[in-house]
């Protein structure tokens, strides 16, 4: 994708390995020795604690490994069936506006969800993307956002629930919010492969972060979106 390295890992990546790789890449982006990167991956089941995590929000500390993430936010879950997007961009080349960057990440996810017929939205005072599950089930979180910025280079990023085991969230208070549920594409009745989700993410990333138009016609995402009612 132009001068951004778009990387996808097929096998699950251990969390410490991902942290180390991001640390290295952020340093390289800062000194100009490597291009910006978006890294799509999955993790084995685990919990991560952001810089605002409250100990009482870890309800089942022995269920999965727990890692200090160094990003903003509180506790969250990562695991199979969830698409992680680590976004390492140089804000010195863009607006040096952290709030704008976070909103752009949310907008990226909202556009991606729209391609699958899901109406993602923001909720005032809460970071991430939310949906109304319908049938009186209320609003639930489908995607989380947690970032860290060092010398204006971003890392960490977003997680989108495609088809994870939602019971795994029961071991934490997700993002410190105890009055809202979590959901996924599958929970909403949308069956999509991870490859289709990846294609949607790549397609919509260009609309939000780049100013050179969309991908060429015939992408996996376009074919998938065109086939949906």
Query: What is the CATH classification number for the domain harbouring 64?
Result: 3.30.930.10
Mean pLDDT of the chain: 89
Return the pLDDT at 1. Answer: 52
Print the domain residue range for 138: 5-227
Residues of the chain with pLDDT under 70: 1-2, 211-229
Return the pLDDT at 2. Answer: 62
Return the pLDDT at 225. Answer: 61
Catalytic residue, candidates 69, 175, 182, 197: 175
Number of domain units in the chain: 1
Answer yes or no: 204 catalytic.
no
Question: Is residue 198 classed as helix, strand or coil in its secondary structure?
Answer: helix
- Per residue in 2-41, pLDDT (tens digit) is 689 999 999 999 999 999 999 999 999 999 999 999 999 9
Prediction pTM value: 0.90
């Amino acid at each position: 994708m132009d001068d951004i390295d778009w990387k996808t890992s097929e096998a699950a990546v251990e969390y410490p390995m991902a942290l180390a790789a991001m640390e290295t890449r952020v340093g390289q982006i800062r000194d100009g020795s490597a291009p910006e990167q978006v890294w799509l991956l999955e993790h084995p089941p685990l919990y991560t604690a952001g810089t605002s995590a409250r100990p009482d929000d870890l309800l089942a500390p022995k269920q999965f490994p727990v890692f200090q993430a160094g990003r903003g936010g509180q506790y969250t879950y990562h695991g199979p069936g969830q698409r992680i997007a680590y976004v390492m961009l140089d804000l010195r080349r863009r607006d040096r506006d952290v709030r704008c960057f976070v909103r752009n990440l949310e907008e990226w996810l909202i556009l991606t969800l729209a391609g699958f017929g899901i109406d993602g939205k923001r909720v005032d005072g809460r970071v991430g993307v939310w949906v109304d599950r319908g049938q009186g089930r209320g609003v639930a979180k489908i995607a989380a956002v947690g970032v860290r910025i060092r010398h204006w280079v971003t890392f960490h990023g977003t997680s989108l629930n495609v088809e994870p085991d939602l019971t795994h969230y029961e071991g934490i208070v997700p993002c410190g919010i105890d009055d809202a549920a979590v959901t996924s594409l599958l929970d909403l009745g949308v069956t999509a492969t991870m490859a289709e989700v990846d294609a949607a993410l790549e397609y919509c990333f260009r609309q939000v972060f780049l100013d050179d138009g969309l991908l060429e016609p015939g992408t996996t995402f376009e074919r998938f979106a065109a086939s949906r009612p």
